[in-house]
Structure 1
Amino acid sequence: MSNTENKDKNLVAKEKTEVSGPAEQTRPGRMYVPEVDIFEKDADIVLLADMPGVAADDLEIDLRDNVLTITGDVQPQEKEGQVYMAREYGTGRYYRRFTLSNDIDQSKIQASLKNGVMRLVLPKVEKAKPRKIEVHAA
C-alpha cells in the first residue's frame, strides 16, 4: 500500500493471536498462531510467516503424511539482575499446520529465517508447472 493510499487510515499494531480450542497442550506457556502470507509463482509456492523472537535453532519444520507443521519457540530474554519496569513481549511457542497437495515436490522444500520472518519455498512438481504449448502452422 502506498503512502497516498494509507494517509487516511489508522495504523494499528495487530496483537499476536493465541491458539485456543479443545486440544490439550503438552507444554506449559502460550501458543501463538503466526501470521502468514502465501503467494504462487510459476515454479513454486512461497509461504512467509511472522515469527518474531524465534531463533533458527528454535524453529522446527516437520513434514509427515502431506502435513507440514511449523513450530518455533520464543525464549525468555531474562538476564541476571535485570528488573523489568514493564514487560509486554510474551514468550511462548508459534504453531501452524498446513496440508500440502500432491503438486508440491516435498523433497525440494527450502526454509530460511531472517529478521523474524520465516520463508518457506514449496517447489511444484514438473507436471504441475504451467507451460506454454507452441502452435505450429499446418
Structure 2
Amino acid sequence: MTTDVTKTTEKTPVEAPETTTGGRIYRPLADIVETPDAVTLMLEMPGVGAEDVDVTLEKRVLTIRGKVHPAQPEKLQLVYAEYGEGDYERSFTMSDDFDADKISASVSNGVLTVTLPRAVEAKPKKIAVTTA
C-alpha cells in the first residue's frame, strides 16, 4: 500500500515585495504618456487617498507606494469577497533628462497621476534652416 501525500504551499512570487505586515502588495497598472515637455504616468490605485501616497526619486529610480486602509463595515459580516485589498508599489528606472524639482503628483477617482517635466537641456530643440 502506497500513500501519496501532496503538500500544496502557496509561495510568494520572486518579484513581489516583502512585507512586514503580512498584507498583500499589488503592482498597479500604469499608462505612460510622453510629450516633448514631459512624461506622465497614470496608475490605478483604488482606495488610496493623497495622504497615503509616497512618491520618491532616488538614484534615478522613481518609486510609488500607496497605502490602503481596509474597509470594515460596521455590524456586517463578509460572506464573499472578490476584491482583494492591499497596498500598492511600483518602481520605474528613469533617465537623467527629467527635472526632479518639478515632479508633481495628484490623485483623483482612484488614479494617481505623476508628471515628470523634462529638464530644459533635454527638450528637443528646433534648428532653423536657412538658404545660403
The alignment's TM-score, normalised by the length of structure 2, stands at 0.82
The residue aligned with 2:126 is: 132
Task: Say if 2:116 is the partner of 1:119.
Answer: no
Unaligned stretches of 5+ residues in structure 2 = 1-11
SS of 1:101 mapped into structure 2: coil
Match of residue 51, structure 1, among 45, 51, 67: 45
RMSD between superposed Cα atoms in Å: 1.7
Aligned to 1:68: 62
Question: Match for residue 20 of structure 2?
Answer: 26
Number of positions where the alignment pairs a residue of Structure 1 with one of Structure 2: 120
- Per-residue CA deviations over 1:73-104 (Å, capped at 9, x if unaligned) read 12111132122232222221111011111111
Distance in 2 (CA, whole Å) between partners of 1:71 and 1:27 is: 15
SS of the counterpart of 1:127?
A: helix
**Structure 2 counterpart of 1:84, one-letter code:** L
State the alpha-carbon separation in 2 of the partners of residues 107 and 117 from structure 1: 22
Q: Secondary structure at the match of 2:52?
A: strand
- Counterpart check, 1:97 vs 2:91: yes
Aligned counterparts of 1:78 and 1:117: Cα–Cα separation in 2: 22
Q: Higher strand fraction: Structure 1 or Structure 2?
A: 1
Greater CA deviation, 107-116 or 80-89?
80-89
Structure 1 residue aligned with 2:32, among 32, 38, 52? 38
The amino acid across from 1:39 in the alignment is V
Once residues 55 and 74 of structure 1 are traced to their aligned partners in structure 2, the CA distance between those partners, rounded to angstroms, is 8
Deviation at residue 128 of structure 1 after TM alignment: 1.4
Q: Displaced runs of 4+ in structure 1, greater than 3 A?
A: none
Identical columns (%): 43
Q: Which protein is bigger by CA-based radius of gyration?
A: 2
Question: 1:71-86 maps to which residues of 2 (within 5 A)?
Answer: 71-86=65-80
The answer for unaligned runs of 5 or more in structure 1 is: 1-18
TM-score (norm 1): 0.79
> Comparing 70-79 with 110-119, which one deviates more in the overlay?
70-79
